[in-house]
């Protein structure tokens, strides 16, 4: 097959661990070098935690799979230091066209919201995403990547895990305090531990093909319901980097995947879609049956499941890799805090609490999109077709057309780590929310708020609180710093007085105040994963210290002990 | 919490019912099905509030399950 991309060939390296008499111990071992495993390694590296990543293959994703990377994913990758490469290579589209039968029923324009560092999403082949992640991992001394090291057995108890690894030089064993399992949707490790990912399988098949177009083609997304060239089914055309286009053909349940994958069967479909004159080549094709499922618990003693092994969604709404990264950023700082003795063990349990919530939300959204595309019975088909038919004429019906909703970060509503609002605030940035970006000046000079948040707790203040109060806050934070807790204080629009130990940000456009409802005075406590833990109108150092303890799982610990 | 109205709220109940019967007159079951779907979607958008729609769906769904129950 022709290809616009050459998979890198990462070398197998023989590790001294393979020659040790006794199993070598590592604090954290990660199984799987896909988006979830690589992200976990980078997140922990930023926390100063060393990891060994084992992958059974010697390259990044073969064939594209994920293409739509959402804003939050790009922001997380930006924090890891590989976001810019993705932004530079990725493509965006604004114009979306929806067809029903012969006709275009409507189009929409996703004008980008200005004044955010990254756009709402980009389209980028998964192999590029992974390649840029690997490149960044290679720069981080805390990370050791071992290609062609396949984990074949895992055992665990409450003190650690032991693994057996297969290589071309034979088997070896290692032990670790924590094992992060990111071995993908089918997760043989999950099965070997007697665990299950439960949910539904959709009785439908999709042919996913990436084609290289020879000539330019408008950068827009086209979605057909019941296309004349593909009756009764849905079809999607999506742009990726390098003039590669993703085509999804819904096939129905009674089709033969092996037949459908053949170029002689793909060609007439694509020609019917693009016209016979257009020149293109097939880069990659695969037939999928999609499922939405998750594990009841993502934690099994010292084994933590992340990414598709923990929760899997159908691709409509692009929540697989995007959801995986949100799970990883949730776990990274917690694991580091517990390992470094800054937080009680119980903090780790909140990875499960918070990400079960996220996984449920992602599964719900993906299921709804899949159900819209594949009506379950005659009545839902009538409703679906009626919605499409009415959306030609009536804008209200377009709100119901669902070919996948853009992935947005989950808000950890009711998380035990949140401190509930007592002040009067707009709900937008309520505790549990992922911080939204805003342009700023000052600080480290990056120009963006999010580049000032993350990896550690931050207190962001706006208002006139008086020198005494600020001193009290600094003292209170300094006492926490004795416990190795690094906390930064960001002051928004404050006169640069004689006090040191603050980061000064200027909200030139007033958008930070607007997006966070800062008003005349506001205080935000923000977690290392850039989620809001608490906020107040007044500056009360005792309240901040309390909320911080809570966000570190101290209260959850008390509740668990009681 | 917003409440679904269960007391009469029509400005002209008889006129509505007559008009409803009218649009279905001389239609095939397939056409009627489409008309009903269009009507439900239009009215649902007019109501808008999900809490109220959910109450309506609950009541509507309960009737069918009760009917199913009666048959057994
Ligand atoms: C057609 C399609 C389209 C998609 N589109 C999107 C999209 O637009 N946006 C989106 O966000 N997501 C999308 N997804 C989902 C996305 O591809 C997955 O969610 C993502 O790859 C999950 O990452 P992961 O790291 O958990 O698992 P994987 O990417 O599956 O990585 C698992 C890794 O573990 C390695 N491994 C497995 N077993 C072992 C072992 N025993 N020892 C060592 N290594 C092992 C594998 O070699 C692999 O490298 C799509 C998926 C498909 C199939």
Domain with residue A354: its CATH number is 3.50.50.60
Atom of ligand 1 nearest to the CA of A208: 1
The residue whose C-alpha atom lies closest to atom 30 belonging to ligand 1 is: A184
Q: Last residue of a domain, which of A360, A377, A406?
A: A360
Asked if A207 and A260 count as a contact pair (C-beta separation under 8 A), the reply is: yes
Q: Are A387 and B41 a contacting pair at CB < 8 A?
A: yes
The tokens for A149 are: 């090291």
Under the banding of pLDDT at 50, 70 and 90, the label for residue B20 is very high
Q: Are A383 and B34 a contacting pair at CB < 8 A?
A: no
A325 and A463 belong to one structural domain = no
The tokens for A287 are: 């037939």
A529 to A80, A85, A288, A412: CA distances (angstroms):
11, 21, 33, 12
Mean pLDDT value across residues A494-506:
86
Atom of ligand 1 nearest to the CA of A39: 25
Query: Among residues A5, A30, A359, which one has the least CA distance to residue A174?
Result: A30
Size of interface A-B (CB pairs under 8 A): 22
Residue A161 has pLDDT above 90, yes or no: yes
Give start and end residues of each alpha helix (H) in A31-113.
Answer: 35-46, 71-80, 83-89
Helix %, strand %, coil % of chain A (to 5): 35, 30, 40
A310 to A188, A197, A337, A352: CA distances (angstroms):
12, 7, 22, 10
Position B2 in a domain: no
Q: Are A390 and B41 a contacting pair at CB < 8 A?
A: yes
Give start and end residues of each alpha helix (H) in A217-283.
Answer: 257-260, 263-274
Asked if A123 and A241 count as a contact pair (C-beta separation under 8 A), the reply is: yes
Position B35 in a domain: yes
Residue A97: strand pairing partners: A107, A222
- Is the minimum distance from the CB of A534 to ligand 1 under 6 angstroms? no
Chain B environment of A396 (Cβ under 8 Å): 41-42, 45
A50-59, A101-110, A184-193, A545-554: lowest mean pLDDT where?
A: A101-110
User: pLDDT per residue over A335-358, tens digit each?
Assistant: 999 999 999 999 999 999 999 999
- Is the minimum distance from the CB of A90 to ligand 1 under 6 angstroms? no
Q: Are A383 and B33 a contacting pair at CB < 8 A?
A: no
Complex ipTM: 0.91
Sign (positive or negative) of CA dihedral A271, A273, A278, A283: negative
The tokens for A514 are: 């607007």
Query: Among residues A400, A399, A403, which one has the least CA distance to residue A366?
Result: A403
Mean pLDDT of chain A: 94
Q: Are A386 and B45 a contacting pair at CB < 8 A?
A: no
pLDDT at A296: 98
Residue A395 has pLDDT above 90, yes or no: yes
What distance in Å separates residue B26's CA from the closest CA in chain A? 20
Q: How many CB atoms lie within 10 A of CB A421?
A: 15
Query: Among residues A356, A376, A493, which one has the least CA distance to residue A438?
Result: A493
Position B41 in a domain: yes
A172 and A308 belong to one structural domain = yes
Under the banding of pLDDT at 50, 70 and 90, the label for residue A365 is very high
For chain B, how long is the longest CA-to-CA vector? Answer: 42
Instruction: Give me the domain span that covers residue B31.
Output: 13-71
CA dist., res. A238 & res. A229, Å (int):
17
Q: What is the number of structural domains in chain B?
A: 1
Contacts of A275 (CB under 8 A, 6+ apart): none
- Is the minimum distance from the CB of A322 to ligand 1 under 6 angstroms? yes
Mean pLDDT value across residues A142-154:
98
Backbone phi and psi for residue A181, each to the nearest 5 degrees, phi listed first: -105, 115
Position A424 in a domain: no
pLDDT at A1: 65
User: pLDDT per residue over A173-223, tens digit each?
Assistant: 999 999 999 999 999 999 999 999 999 888 889 999 999 998 888 888 999
Q: Last residue of a domain, which of A314, A341, A360?
A: A360
Residue B68 has pLDDT above 80, yes or no: no
Q: Last residue of a domain, which of A315, A339, A360?
A: A360
Residue whose pair of structure tokens reads 């992958």 in the numeric block: A55
User: pLDDT per residue over A116-139, tens digit each?
Assistant: 999 999 999 999 999 999 999 999
Position A181 in a domain: yes
pLDDT at A562: 46
Q: What is the number of structural domains in chain A?
A: 2
Position A34 in a domain: yes
Atom of ligand 1 nearest to the CA of A152: 41
Mean pLDDT value across residues A367-377:
90
Q: How many CB atoms lie within 10 A of CB A295?
A: 22
A164 and A54 belong to one structural domain = yes
CA dist., res. A10 & res. A146, Å (int):
9
User: pLDDT per residue over A436-487, tens digit each?
Assistant: 999 999 999 999 999 999 999 999 999 999 889 999 999 998 887 667 788 9
User: pLDDT per residue over A511-558, tens digit each?
Assistant: 999 999 999 999 999 999 999 999 999 999 999 999 999 999 987 655
User: pLDDT per residue over A287-308, tens digit each?
Assistant: 998 899 999 999 999 999 999 9
| Nearest CB partner across the interface for A382, out of B37, B42, B45 | B37
Position A148 in a domain: yes
Residue A157: strand pairing partners: A160
Position A243 in a domain: no
Question: Which of B28, B37, B50 is best to mutate for the A interface (most A CBs within 10 A)?
Answer: B37
Q: Is A87 on the interface with B (CB under 8 A)?
A: no
Position A125 in a domain: yes
Asked if A165 and A151 count as a contact pair (C-beta separation under 8 A), the reply is: yes
Question: With pLDDT > 90 as the criterion, what percentage of chain A qualifies?
Answer: 80
A43-57, A108-122, A133-147, A453-467: lowest mean pLDDT where?
A: A108-122
Mean pLDDT value across residues A217-245:
91
CA dist., res. A377 & res. A379, Å (int):
6
DSSP string, A362-406: HHHHHHHHHHHHS-SSHHHHHHHHHHHHHHTT-HHHHTT--S-PP
Question: Which of A377, A381, A382 is best to mutate for the B interface (most B CBs within 10 A)?
Answer: A382
Residue A561 has pLDDT above 90, yes or no: no
Mean pLDDT value across residues A51-56:
98
Q: Are A400 and B33 a contacting pair at CB < 8 A?
A: no
User: pLDDT per residue over A13-30, tens digit each?
Assistant: 999 999 999 999 999 999
Cα atoms in the Cβ-side hemisphere of radius 13 Å centred on A366: 27
- Ligand 1 pocket test: pick from A30, A34, A77, A286 the residue with the most ligand atoms within 8 Å of its Cβ: A34
Position A390 in a domain: no
What CATH number does the domain containing A545 carry? 3.40.30.120
Residue B69 has pLDDT above 90, yes or no: no
Coil, strand or helix: which one is B33? helix
The tokens for A425 are: 């605030």
A43-57, A88-102, A418-432: lowest mean pLDDT where?
A: A88-102
Query: Among residues A223, A202, A251, which one has the least CA distance to residue A405?
Result: A223
Under the banding of pLDDT at 50, 70 and 90, the label for residue B72 is very low
Residue A114 has pLDDT above 70, yes or no: yes
How far is C-alpha A554 from the chain's CA centre?
27
Instruction: Give me the domain span that covers residue A543.
Output: 441-561
Which residue in chain B is spatially nearest to A390 when comparing CA positions? B38
Q: Are A397 and B41 a contacting pair at CB < 8 A?
A: yes
Q: Return the beta strands (E) in A58-142 as ranges.
A: 68-70, 95-100, 103-109, 121-123
Question: Which of B36, B40, B45, B48 is best to mutate for the A interface (most A CBs within 10 A)?
Answer: B45
- Is the minimum distance from the CB of A415 to ligand 1 under 6 angstroms? no
Under the banding of pLDDT at 50, 70 and 90, the label for residue B71 is very low
Position B53 in a domain: yes
Residue B63 has pLDDT above 80, yes or no: no
Coil, strand or helix: which one is A189? helix
Residue whose pair of structure tokens reads 């037949």 in the numeric block: A259
Q: What is residue A495's DSSP assignment?
A: -
The tokens for A554 are: 């101290």
Q: How many CB atoms lie within 10 A of CB B17?
A: 11
Position B6 in a domain: no
Asked if A321 and A38 count as a contact pair (C-beta separation under 8 A), the reply is: no
């Amino acid at each position: 097959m022709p290809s616009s991309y050459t998979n890198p060939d990462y070398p197998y390296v023989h590790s001294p661990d393979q020659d040790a008499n006794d199993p070598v111990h590592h604090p954290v071992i990660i199984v799987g070098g896909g988006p979830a495993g690589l992200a976990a390694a980078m997140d922990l590296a930023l926390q100063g935690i060393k990891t060994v990543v084992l992958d059974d293959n010697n390259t990044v994703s073969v064939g594209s799979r994920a293409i739509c990377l959402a804003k939050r994913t790009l922001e997380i990758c930006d924090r890891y230091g590989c976001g810019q490469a993705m932004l530079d290579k990725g493509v965006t589209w604004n114009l979306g066209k929806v067809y029903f039968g012969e006709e275009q029923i409507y189009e929409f324009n996703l004008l980008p919201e200005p004044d955010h560092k990254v756009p709402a999403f980009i389209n980028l082949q998964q192999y590029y995403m992974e390649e840029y992640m690997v490149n960044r991992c290679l720069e981080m001394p805390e990370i050791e990547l071992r290609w062609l090291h396949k984990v074949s057995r895992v055992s665990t108890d409450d003190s650690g895990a032991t693994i057996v690894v297969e290589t071309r030089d034979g088997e070896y064993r290692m032990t670790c305090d924590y094992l992060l399992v990111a071995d993908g949707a089918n997760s043989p490790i999950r099965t070997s531990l007697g665990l299950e990912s439960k949910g539904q399988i959709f009785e439908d098949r999709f042919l996913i093909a990436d084609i290289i177009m020879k000539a330019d083609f408008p950068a827009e997304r086209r979605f057909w319901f019941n296309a004349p060239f593909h009756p009764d089914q849905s079809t999607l055309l999506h742009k990726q980097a390098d003039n590669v286009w993703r085509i999804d053909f819904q096939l129905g349940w009674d089709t033969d995947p092996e037949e459908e994958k053949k170029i002689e069967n793909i060609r007439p479909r694509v020609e019917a879609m693009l016209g016979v004159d257009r020149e293109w080549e097939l880069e990659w094709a695969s037939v999928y049956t999609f499922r939405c499922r998750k594990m009841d618990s993502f934690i099994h003693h010292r084994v933590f499941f992340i990414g598709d092994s923990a929760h899997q969604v159908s691709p409509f709404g692009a929540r697989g890799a995007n959801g995986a990264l949100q799970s990883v950023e949730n776990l990274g700082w917690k694991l580091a805090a517990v390992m470094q003795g800054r937080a009680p063990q119980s903090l780790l349990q909140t990875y499960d609490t918070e990400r079960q919530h996220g996984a449920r939300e992602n599964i719900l959204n993906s299921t709804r999109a899949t159900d819209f595309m594949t009506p379950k019975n005659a009545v839902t088909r009538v409703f679906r077709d009626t919605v499409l038919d009415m959306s030609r004429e009536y804008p209200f019906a377009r709100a119901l057309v669902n070919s996948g909703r853009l992935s947005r970060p989950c808000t950890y509503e009711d998380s035990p780590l949140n401190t509930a609002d007592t002040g009067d605030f707009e709900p937008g940035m309520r505790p549990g929310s992922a911080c939204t970006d805003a342009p700023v000046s000052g600080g480290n000079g990056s120009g963006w708020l999010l580049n000032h948040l993350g990896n550690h707790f931050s207190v962001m203040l706006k208002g006139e609180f008086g020198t005494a109060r600020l001193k009290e806050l600094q003292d209170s934070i300094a006492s926490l710093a004795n416990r190795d807790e690094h906390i930064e204080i960001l002051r928004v629009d404050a006169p640069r007085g004689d006090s040191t130990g603050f980061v000064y940000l200027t909200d030139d456009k007033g958008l930070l105040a607007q997006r966070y409802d800062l008003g005349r005075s506001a205080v935000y406590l923000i977690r290392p994963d850039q989620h809001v833990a608490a906020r107040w109108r007044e500056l009360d150092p005792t309240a901040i210290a309390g909320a911080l303890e809570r966000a570190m799982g101290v209260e959850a610990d008390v509740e668990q002990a009681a | 919490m917003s409440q679904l109205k269960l007391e009469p709220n029509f400005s002209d109940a008889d006129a509505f019912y007559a008009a409803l019967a009218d649009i279905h007159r001389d239609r095939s079951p397939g056409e009627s099905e489409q008309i009903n779907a269009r009507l439900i979607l239009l009215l649902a958008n007019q109501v808008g509030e999900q809490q109220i729609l959910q109450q309506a769906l609950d009541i509507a769904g309960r009737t069918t399950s009760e009917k199913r129950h009666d048959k057994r």
